[in-house]
């Protein structure tokens, strides 16, 4: 009987897969690192968008609370005869409102401070409202945003 020669001239060695295993681990590590970095970038981009939305919501609740004070003044000419503070809420966001009044001729001059809070964001607005003592006509004279100390 004749023994046939192997088809290839390669001789299998016991350590021939070590380089392949190292290469697969290296490539897998790189792919995993890229995936983790991508998830961090996605998280931080979505967080910055959330912060901007909270900032706008704080603005909305602060301005709405100033309009609320204006409605109170129109309905009641003696509103805010002394310094008055009260909370205002809109869709889960809150605003702290402070109203003070001085008399000037035949008008009441109201100074309104509203600090709107939405999540971690805050906005502060100060308004001056003049109201006629007889007719009750309330005129928003100025509205400005101020920094929070």
Domain ranges of the chain: 19-146
More confident residue, 120 or 2: 120
Q: Which residues make beta-bridge pairs with 128?
A: 111, 142
More confident residue, 127 or 104: 127
The predicted pLDDT at position 36 comes to 94
Contact 114, 100 (CB under 8 A): no
Enumerate residues 6+ apart whose C-beta is below 8 A from 38. Answer: none
The predicted pLDDT at position 88 comes to 93
Tokens of 92: 């889960």
What pLDDT, in 10s, does the model give residues 2-20? 666 555 555 555 666 677 7
In residues, how long is the chain? Answer: 149
Model confidence at 81: pLDDT above 80: no
State the architecture of 19-146 in CATH terms. 2-Layer Sandwich (3.30)
Contact 84, 96 (CB under 8 A): no
Percentage of the chain beyond pLDDT 70 is 87
pTM, full prediction? 0.66
Q: Which of 93, 76, 75, 95 is nearest to 85 (CA)?
A: 95
């Amino acid at each position: 009987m004749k023994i046939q020669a192997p088809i290839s001239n390669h001789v299998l060695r016991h350590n021939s897969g070590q380089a392949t295993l190292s290469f697969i681990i290296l490539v897998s590590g790189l792919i995993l690192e890229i995936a983790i970095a991508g998830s961090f970038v996605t998280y931080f981009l979505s967080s910055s968008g959330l912060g901007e939305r909270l900032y706008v919501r704080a603005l909305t609740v602060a301005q709405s609370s100033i309009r609320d004070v204006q409605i109170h003044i129109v309905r009641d000419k003696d509103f805010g005869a002394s310094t008055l503070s009260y909370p205002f809420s809109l869709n889960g966001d809150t605003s702290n409102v402070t109203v003070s009044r001085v008399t000037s001729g035949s008008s009441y001059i109201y100074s309104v401070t509203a600090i709107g809070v939405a999540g971690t964001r805050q906005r502060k607005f100060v308004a001056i409202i003049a109201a006629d003592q007889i007719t009750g006509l309330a005129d928003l004279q100025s509205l400005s945003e101020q920094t929070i100390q």
